[in-house]
Amino acid sequence: MKEKKLARDELIGRTVTIKNCSDPKWENITGTILDETKNMFLLKVDEGQKKISKKIAKFQFIIDGEKIIIDGSKILYRPEDRIKKIR
């Protein structure tokens, strides 16, 4: 239930850790979401900014001390549409 609530919420500005990525170089990278499109997140990381496709990874958010993991393929919507479509 918390996954759906988070998926409908604004993600820009949240800290995220990449988990279970099909590209191993991305795994366990943590950053702040600067921007979001239908297919990608733009993250601010220590080395600068990086773009990652939503469909290749699972993303871990920590909300109120609880770890919530969202499969990126389930949030493949434009941010304004994601809020309406995820139920």
Task: Please state the CATH superfamily assignment of the domain spanning residues 2-85 in this structure.
Answer: Ribonuclease P/MRP, subunit p29 (2.30.30.210)
What per-residue confidence (pLDDT) applies to 80? Answer: 82
What per-residue confidence (pLDDT) applies to 1? Answer: 57
Is residue 63 over pLDDT 80? yes
Is residue 62 over pLDDT 70? yes
- Residue for token digits 């099909």? 22
Per-residue H/E/C for 39-82: CEEEEEECCEEEEEEHHHCEEEEEECCEEEEEEHHHHCCCHHHH
Q: What is the pLDDT of residues 10-57, one digit of tens each?
A: 999 999 999 999 999 999 999 999 999 999 999 999 989 999 999 999
What per-residue confidence (pLDDT) applies to 18? Answer: 96
Question: For residue 59, what are the β-bridge partners?
Answer: 18, 70
C-alpha to C-alpha distance for 76 and 67, rounded to whole angstroms: 21
Is residue 87 over pLDDT 70? no
What per-residue confidence (pLDDT) applies to 82? Answer: 80
